[in-house]
Amino acid sequence: MAKHAGCGVAVVVIFYLLSKFFGSICPTYRFLGICCPFCGMTRAHLAAMKLDFSTAMYYNPAFFLGVPCIFFMVHEKLFAPRFDKHRKIAAGVLLGIICAVYIVRVCLYGFDFFD
């Protein structure tokens, strides 16, 4: 359990350093000027924590899928080996939905949908 907590702390530190270095967590937006499928996830989760779900949906309509997707991809040790195939399928489906939402947003608003 302490190992997982250490990984969580490392992720938070990495995101903090990225935000200080890039001015934004997303290097894709910083260097290419286009939003990636995960753009707005951090702001969406912060808005959801304040129970402002309309703002969260504005930032990224698939924000509620990001955490389970990462959970399924990272915590393979929590699942029995016989569920490994199911875990990978679940992560793939969630990631596919996030990418589909991204494609719809690009089609509707262009590559910089926050501008």
Question: Per-residue pLDDT tens for 33-61?
Answer: 778 887 888 788 888 888 999 998 888 88
Check whether 107 has a pLDDT greater than 70.
Answer: yes
Domain boundaries, the chain: 27-109
- Per-residue confidence (pLDDT) for residue 74, from 0 to 100: 72
Distances (CA, A) of 45 to 18, 53, 67, 95, 106: 18, 9, 10, 17, 21
pLDDT band at 25 (very low <50, low <70, confident <90, very high): low
- Per-residue confidence (pLDDT) for residue 115, from 0 to 100: 63
- Per-residue confidence (pLDDT) for residue 31, from 0 to 100: 75
Check whether 92 has a pLDDT greater than 80.
Answer: yes
